[in-house]
Amino acid sequence: MKTIAILGFGNVGQNLAKLFNDAGYRVIVCSKSGDAGKGEYLSMNYLEGINAADAVALAVPYQVLTELLAPLAKHLAGKTVIDCTNPLNDDWSPLLLGQETSAAEQIGKLLPDAKVIKAFNTIFADVMPKKHHDREGKKITAFVAGDDLSAKNNILALAKNIGFAPLDVGPLSAARYLEAMAHLNIQIAVGQQGGTQAAFIYHQGN
Ligand SMILES: NC(=O)c1ccc[n+]([C@@H]2O[C@H](COP(=O)([O-])OP(=O)(O)OC[C@H]3O[C@@H](n4cnc5c(N)ncnc54)[C@H](OP(=O)(O)O)[C@@H]3O)[C@@H](O)[C@H]2O)c1
């Protein structure tokens, strides 16, 4: 996996673009105009970027994905799609999908021929820059869920290469738990005024 198209160039898109680029991946920033990120990265419209990439990272609001991806679905066939989204309302409260699905699984239904992998949704954009990765000697955990083992291994390697501690949490359906973790993260950060410098470290004892 060499070339990664990033859909969305907001808080998450900008940080992932820098991390991927610094780790040696070829980054294409995709936006409606095709101009986002120009000067710093390759920038294209969605269709051009998807066609030129091996993997596509979703860094846009979950609620816009159906409209955005439905016309692009056939171009995403066979590609790895990294779902970084969280199902949120505009006020960051959880968009409840029930207990039997997740944003990632819904995206999988929308893109049946793509290899959807959930990753990076539990990491606040504010702590994505490298200087925030070291937490008293431990790295921030990047939880990764997906059904396609080869695609998931690529994203576990990507997570490691950009400086996180990757952890395979199993099938795509485990995204239900990862999305709930993100809701908890937001609740502590915003609801409890804990702030967005917080990060999950999963310590596996022996
Ligand atoms: N912020 C975090 O800490 C964090 C952490 C993990 C995961 N996430 C998830 O990552 C995703 C991106 O979050 P973010 O904080 O980066 O959001 P953001 O800063 O608001 O950026 C969203 C991006 O999506 C684009 N966008 C908005 N509406 C769109 C539409 N209708 N069609 C196409 N593109 C549209 C925006 O482009 P324009 O500016 O041109 O509209 C912008 O580039 C969300 O799903 C969020 O839940 C966020």
Residue 13 has pLDDT above 80, yes or no: yes
The owner of tokens 């959930």 is 118
Tell the residue nearest (CA) to atom 21 of ligand 1: 10
Q: Which atom of ligand 1 is nearest to the CA of 60?
A: 24
Contact 111, 76 (CB under 8 A): yes
Q: What is the pLDDT of residues 79-105, one digit of tens each?
A: 999 999 999 999 999 998 888 999 999
Residue 4 has pLDDT above 80, yes or no: yes
Tell the residue nearest (CA) to atom 6 of ligand 1: 121
Alpha carbon of 61 to ligand 1 centroid (Å): 5
Alpha carbon of 38 to ligand 1 centroid (Å): 18
149-159: buried (b, 16+ CB within 10 Å) or exposed (e) per residue? Answer: eebbbbbbebb
- What is the pLDDT confidence band of residue 206, given thresholds at 50, 70 and 90? confident
**What pLDDT is recorded for position 107?**
98
Residue 106 has pLDDT above 90, yes or no: yes
- What is the pLDDT confidence band of residue 158, given thresholds at 50, 70 and 90? very high
How far is 183 from 189, CA to CA, in rounded Å?
Answer: 10
Contact 64, 41 (CB under 8 A): no
3 state DSSP class of 148:
coil
Residues 6 or more apart from 60 whose CB is under 8 A from it? 7, 8, 10, 13, 68, 85
**What pLDDT is recorded for position 88?**
96
Alpha carbon of 7 to ligand 1 centroid (Å): 9
Tokens of 56: 């596509």
- What is the pLDDT confidence band of residue 156, given thresholds at 50, 70 and 90? very high
Q: What is the pLDDT of residues 39-60, one digit of tens each?
A: 999 999 999 999 999 999 999 9
Question: What is the average pLDDT across 109-125?
Answer: 98
Q: What is the pLDDT of residues 181-197, one digit of tens each?
A: 999 999 999 999 999 99
Tell the residue nearest (CA) to atom 35 of ligand 1: 60
- What is the pLDDT confidence band of residue 64, given thresholds at 50, 70 and 90? very high
Question: What is the average pLDDT across 26-45?
Answer: 97
Alpha carbon of 113 to ligand 1 centroid (Å): 24
Alpha carbon of 206 to ligand 1 centroid (Å): 38
Residue 25 has pLDDT above 90, yes or no: yes
Q: Which residues' Cβ are closer than 6 Å to ligand 1?
A: 8-13, 31, 59-62, 64, 68, 84-86, 88, 121, 123-125
